[in-house]
Structure 1
Amino acid sequence: MILDLLTEGRIAIKIKAANWQEVVQTAGQLLLVDNLITEKYIEAMQKSIIENGPYVVIGKGIALLHARPEDGVKKLGMSLVTLAEPVNFGNKNNDPVKIAFAFGAVDDKQHVKAISELSTVLMADNAVNKIAVIEKPASILNYMEKIIASENYQK
């Protein structure tokens, strides 16, 4: 499921970002280019962080950027940005962010399996640090695919 949503074209490697707003903008643009969201959704992701704080920083070095489906999601999709230099979002426990996923879902149910698979990947041994240094989008997808396949094999 996650590998259907995250394509090579929606992965940006070693992006230079001066602040969290630029991280959100870059990750959102990858969804916008594929016509999965509207520009309004990028603004909503930023507004959500401003209003609710850095709750999107879900673990050490990782952000899961999102907003409400009605804020401009056209179709389910995901993007990934790895950062040349980690960026602080203001989360004292989990900053700085090394990798950021942007996620757009059209409803509250459609994305559950994808988020479950993403959590499987991110809980793998040292996954955030490994993803952060991979040089090619295809290699990131291969790495994630191996983890998911391994997890499914163990079930």
Structure 2
Amino acid sequence: MQLDHLLTKETIRLQVRATGRMDVVQKAGELLVASGNADARYIEAMKHSLKTHGPYMVIVPGVALLHARPEDGVRQLCMSLVTLDPPIEFGNPDNDPVSVAFALGAEDNSKHVEAIAVLAGLLEDEQAMETIRHSTSVDEVLQIIAAAQAGE
């Protein structure tokens, strides 16, 4: 499945105010639940993973990839995107603060690989990520995602 099938107007929220890292997980996770692709318990599993394993989910400067295990309540492959204003500290000394959070749910350990590959390409495009960080238009973000997916 491609990113443009996972990230839609319904699964993207921009310039969100959060009270802390667990609130970021809550807000990003709620979009997965609202899409019908994850159960509410998946949000709690992502929070538990962050508490247990620390801020390893902050994968590059300013970006968190929130996730938990497939068996923790994922119905089918899903992803959400939340930009944060102001950015939030997750406790990662190398990559904080977080201004963009993706939440990923996969129903097994392999179906998300293609989406992760496209996401990696998007994360490498500094200009695209900077535009996403500051955008107030979901349509603009969707155009950037489509361009990244097309390899532009």
TM-score bracket for the superposition, by shorter chain length: over 0.9
Match of 2:98 in 1: 97
**Runs in 1 of length 4+ with deviation above 6 angstroms?**
none
Alignment of 1:5 with 2:3, yes or no, is no
Is the contact between residue 15 and residue 84 of structure 2 (CA under 8 Å) also seen in structure 1?
A: yes
Deviations 1:1-21 (A, max 9, x none): 111111111001110001000
For 2:151 and 2:28, the matched residues in 1 are separated by 28
Deviations 1:52-111 (A, max 9, x none): 000100000000000000000011110000011000000000000000000000000100
Match of 2:48 in 1: 47
For residue 126 of structure 1, give the secondary structure of its aligned residue in structure 2.
helix
Match of 1:146 in 2: 147
For residue 36 of structure 1, give the secondary structure of its aligned residue in structure 2.
coil
Sequence identity (%): 44
For 1:110 and 1:147, the matched residues in 2 are separated by 19
Is the contact between residue 60 and residue 94 of structure 1 (CA under 8 Å) also seen in structure 2?
A: yes
Q: Which amino acid aligns with 1:15?
A: V
> Which has the larger displacement, 1-10 or 88-97?
1-10
Is the contact between residue 76 and residue 106 of structure 1 (CA under 8 Å) also seen in structure 2?
A: yes
Question: What are the equivalent positions in structure 2 for 1:6-155 lying under 5 Å apart?
Answer: 6-151=7-152
RMSD between superposed Cα atoms in Å: 1.0
For 2:130 and 2:99, the matched residues in 1 are separated by 8
Unpaired runs of at least 5, structure 1: none
For 1:150 and 1:5, the matched residues in 2 are separated by 17
For residue 55 of structure 1, give the secondary structure of its aligned residue in structure 2.
helix
Aligned residues: 151
For residue 19 of structure 2, give the secondary structure of its aligned residue in structure 1.
coil
- Deviation at residue 128 of structure 1 after TM alignment: 2.7
- Deviation at residue 125 of structure 1 after TM alignment: 2.7
Taking structure 1 as the reference length, the TM-score comes to: 0.94
For residue 26 of structure 2, give the secondary structure of its aligned residue in structure 1.
helix
